Chains A and B, each alone.
Chain A
Amino acid sequence: MKTIISTSPFLHHEATTPKIMWEVVYTLIPVLGVAVYYFGLSALLVSAAAVAGCLVAERLFDKKKKAIGDGSALLTGVLLALCLPPGFPLWIAFLGGMVSIGVGKSLWGGLGQNIFNPALLGRAFLQAAFPEAITTWDLPTGNYWGVRGTNLAMPFFKGTPVDAISTATPLSQLKFSHEVTSTMDLLVGNVSGSLGETCGLLLILAGVYLIARKIINWRIPASILATAALFSGILYAINPQYPTPQFTILAGGLLLGAVYMATDYVTSPLTTKGIWIYGFGIGFLVVMIRVWGGLPEGVMYAILLMNAATPLINRFTKTRVYGHEK
C-alpha cells in the first residue's frame, strides 16, 4: 500500500475558477441570443472577432501556455463584444480583443493582477482610437442573415460603406434631441445600442441568477442601481427635464455594467464596506457623466474610475477581526 501525502483540508468546495468563468459565459448565451435576434448574424460575427482577439492575445502572452483553459479570456471577449455596436468592423473588434487581454491583463501579470476590467479597458481603447466606428449605431433589423457592410470594412480604408444607416441610441436621443424611449422598448430591447445592453429584462434575469448562484456579490449591482436611481430620482424631482430613474437604469449599458462588468472579482473591492463605496461611486459617476458630461453614456468610465480606486478602497476598509475592537 502506498499512501498519498498531502495537507489538510482534504475536502474542497466544488467551485473552481474555470467553472465559475464558464458559468458566467453560459449566462451570456441568452444575452447573445437576443443580440442575434435583434441584430442578426452581425452580432455573432462581432462576438467571434472579439473572442478570437482575446484568445490569440492570451495564447501569445502566456508563457506557461495554460491560462487559456481557465475560460477568463473567453469571458472577456464576449463581454467586450456585448458593448460594441452591431455594425462594428470585425478587424477592429479583433484588435479590441487583443488590447483587452494584452494591455488589460497580460501586461499586469495575467489573471488576478490587473487593476482595470480588461473588457472595458479594450473598449476604452476602441472609443479613443475609433470614435466614429464605435458610435455608429443602427436599428434592430428583422433580417437575421443580413451582414452589415460596415462589419466587413478593411483596415485603413477611407469612405463610408454603402449601407450604413446610422441612428441614435436612447441615451443620445435624450441628450441631443430630448426624445424619451418608452420603458417597454427598453425592457424588451427593441432599441438601438451595443449588442448586449438593449434587453433590460434579460440582464435583470441574468443578474438574479448569478446572485442566486452566489457567483456575483449582490451588493455590487444593488448599490450601483440604487445610487443611480436615487440620484437621478432627485434630479428628476427637481426638474422633470432630467431622465426618470427607470430610464436611467434601463437605457444604455448600466444594467450590463452593473451585472457583468462592475462585478468582476479582480477589479472590485474585497471587503463588504468597500463594495458599498465602490457601488455608490459607480452609480453616482454614471449619472454625473450622463447628465453633465459631454458623452451620452458614462458606465464605462464610471466603472474604470472606480476600478482605479479599488486598491485604495481595499486599503482603507479593513475588516474587523473576531475578538478585536473596531
Chain B
Amino acid sequence: MSTSLIGSLQTFPHGVHPEEYKELSCNRRIERMPFVELYTLPLSQHIGAPSKVVVKEGQKVRRGEMIAEPGGFVSVGLHSPVDGVVHAIDLFDHPNGQVLPAIQIRTDRFSTQQLQLKPVPPEEMTTAGFIKAVQWSGMVGMGGAAFPAHVKFSIPEGKTCKHLMLNGCECEPFLTCDHRVMVEYAEELIDGTRILARFVKPEKVYIAIEANKPDAITLIREKAAEMDFAIEVVPLEVKYPQGAEKMMISAILGEEVPSGKLPLDVGVLVSNVGTAVAMSQYFRQGLPLIERVITVSGTALKRPSNMLVPIGTPMRDVVDYCGGITVPSPRILLGGPMMGMVQKNLDVPVVKGTSGILALTDHEVRDLDTYSCIRCGRCLDACPLFLNPALLGMLSRKGLWEEMEENHIMDCFECASCSFVCPSGIPLVQSFRVGKAMIRERKAK
C-alpha cells in the first residue's frame, strides 16, 4: 500500500517499522458472524470493577437486554448478544488467562433475533445524563485496553477538553478492523463524534489515520464536508506504536503528556474510532455494546476476514467460520502481534476489548536464539518514551527493582518495540512486565 500521501507526514520520535501484513484482510468487507449456540460473557471485560449480575439461571433474556449492571463508577453494563436463556452463571476461562465469573447464554433457536430497541436521543440530555447513558450502554474503549468510555468522557472540574482526537491509526500489524470500520461506517463515525463533541465541547476535533489507509482518509474528509462537521483528518506516518495515545498526541500537537498524568491534563481527549461508531449506534438506534468488528487473520488461517461478532462468541466458532486453521501447531492470539495475548486454545470468548484473532505460523514468528546484550543501542532508538531498555533489562535480570523504578520503568506501556529490534533476542519487554509487577507488589505491602 502507498505510504506517502503527502511529502512528509507528522509522527512521533523513535518507534519501529514491523512488516504490516494488512493486505491479508484490509480489502475484505465486514461480514456478520452467524449466531451460534452458546455465548460466554465475562463480568470483567473492562478495566475496573466487574459488572453485577441482574439475571438468574434459567431466565429468558432478549437480545440487547441488560444482564449485568455497572458495579461501581469505573464499571459498565453488560447486555445479552442474543435472544435466549441464561444457561449458567459460573467461572469460565477468560482471554486474559484467568478463570473469572461469567454469564453463559444459550441461544433461542426459534427466535428471529430481531432487535426491539428505542433510540436514546442525546439532544435533551444533561452531561451527567449522557455519562450515565454511556456507562449503562456498556461502552468501553474499543482500541484494546477496554477502559470504560464514560470515565474518559467525564471531564473533571477545572479541566477542559481543547482537542478531541479520534484514533484511527491502527498501527498493530495484521489488524484492519478500524480501517474497515472507518470505510464502512464513516457516517456513524462522524455522527458519534458529533454526539461526543456536544458534551465534551472541544475547540477542535481531529481524526488521526496512518497513511496506509488512503481510502479512509479520503472518505472521511468527504463525509465530514457532506455532513457539515468540522474535523481535521491528520494522516500520520506508518510507524509503530503510532496509535498509542501519547504518541498520537506527540505527532499531532508536538506536546508530551507529563509522566503519571492523563491526556486531559494537556487538554486532549482521545477516543477510538470504533467507540465513536458504537456511540452513534447506541444513541440513534438504542443498540448497546453487544457486538463489535474484529479482524481474524494470520497465515495459519484459511480465510482472513473482518467480522462483526456478537460479544461472547467462542473464538473457535469465529475461526471455524473463517475456514479454520491450516497448520498443526499455530500461535493463537487475541489482539495484535506486538501487544496481543497468546491463547492456549480456542475456548475463550471474544470480549469487548478484542480487536483481532490471529493465527500465526513460524513464517512470521521466528524462534530467536538469544545472545548477550552487545549494547548496540537499537532499543534506545526504538523506545518511543526515550527509556533505556538495555539498562532496564540488565537491572531486571539482576532483580534491582528500585533501580528500575528510578529509571522510570513505570512509564513503560509495554509496546514491545525494544524486544522487536533487539538483535540478541533478549526478552526485554517481558522482563519489564516482571519488574513492574514486582514494584507494584512491593508498593502494595
Contacts and interface: CB of A to CB of B under 8 A. Distances in A.
A319 B408 CA distance: 11
Contact of B257 (A17, A265, A323): A323
A188 B257 CA distance: 54
B328 A1 contact: yes
Contacts of A271: 380, 388
Interface stretch (B56-64, B193-201, B301-309, B337-345): B337-345
B435 interface: no
A268 B373 CA distance: 13
20 contacts: A1-B325, A4-B329, A5-B344, A9-B337, A9-B419, A10-B338, A11-B364, A12-B368, A13-B378, A16-B369, A111-B374, A112-B372, A270-B375, A270-B380, A318-B407, A319-B388, A321-B259, A321-B408, A322-B385, A323-B385
B268 interface: no
Interface string A15-27: 1111110000000
Interface in B359-386: 360, 364-366, 368-369, 371-378, 380, 384-386
A113 B341 CA distance: 34
A319 B259 contact: no
B328 A17 contact: no
A149 B364 CA distance: 55
A321 B330 contact: no
Contact of B421 (A1, A13, A270): A13
A266 B374 contact: yes
Interface string B381-420: 0001111101100000000000000011001000010011
Interface in B1-48: 16, 18-19
Interface of B: 16, 18-19, 173, 246, 256-261, 325, 328-333, 335, 337-345, 358, 360, 364-366, 368-369, 371-378, 380, 384-388, 390-391, 407-408, 411, 416, 419-421, 423-425, 427, 429-430
A324 interface: yes
Contacts of A13: 16, 18, 378, 420-421, 423
A110 B385 CA distance: 31
B394 to A, nearest CB: 10
Nearest to B12: A322
Contacts of A268: 375
A276 B340 CA distance: 38
Contacts of B369: 16, 18
Given A8-B338, A17-B425, A265-B376, 14 more contacts: A3-B329, A4-B329, A6-B331, A9-B339, A9-B420, A16-B369, A112-B372, A266-B374, A270-B390, A271-B380, A271-B388, A318-B388, A319-B387, A322-B384
B423 A20 contact: yes
A113 B380 contact: no
Contact of A8 (B19, B339, B364, B408): B339
Nearest to A217: B377
B366 A12 contact: yes
B371 A111 contact: yes
Interface string A298-326: 00000000000000000000111111100
Contact of B246 (A5, A110, A323): A323
A70 interface: yes
B255 to A, nearest CB: 10
Contacts of B416: 8-9
B374 A8 contact: no
Most buried by B among A1, A19, A110, A111: A1
B331 A270 contact: no
Contacts of A2: 328-329
A12 B343 CA distance: 19
A98 to B, nearest CB: 21
Contacts of A318: 388, 407
Interface in A1-59: 1-13, 15-20
Top 10 A-B pairs, shortest CB-CB distance = A112-B372, A9-B416, A323-B259, A322-B385, A10-B337, A265-B376, A17-B371, A321-B408, A111-B372, A15-B423
Query: In the complex, which range does the number of interface residues on chain A fall in?
Result: 35 or more
A220 B430 CA distance: 31
A20 B376 contact: yes
Nearest to B327: A1
A149 to B, nearest CB: 40
A11 B329 contact: no
Contacts of B421: 13, 15
A245 B420 CA distance: 42
A82 B105 CA distance: 74
Most buried by B among A13, A20, A110: A13
Given A11-B173, A270-B390, A3 B343 contact: yes
Given A321-B386, A321-B408, A324-B259, A11 B365 contact: yes
Contacts of A217: 377
Nearest to B332: A3
A270 B371 CA distance: 18
B362 to A, nearest CB: 9
A10 B331 contact: yes
Contacts of A6: 331, 342, 365
Nearest to B406: A318
B429 to A, nearest CB: 7
Contacts of B429: 8-9
Interface string A205-230: 00000000000010000000000000
B370 to A, nearest CB: 9
Contacts of B371: 16-18, 70, 111-112
Most buried by B among A1, A72, A321, A322: A322
A228 B325 CA distance: 61
A16 to B, nearest CB: 5
Contacts of A1: 325, 328-330
A112 B423 CA distance: 13
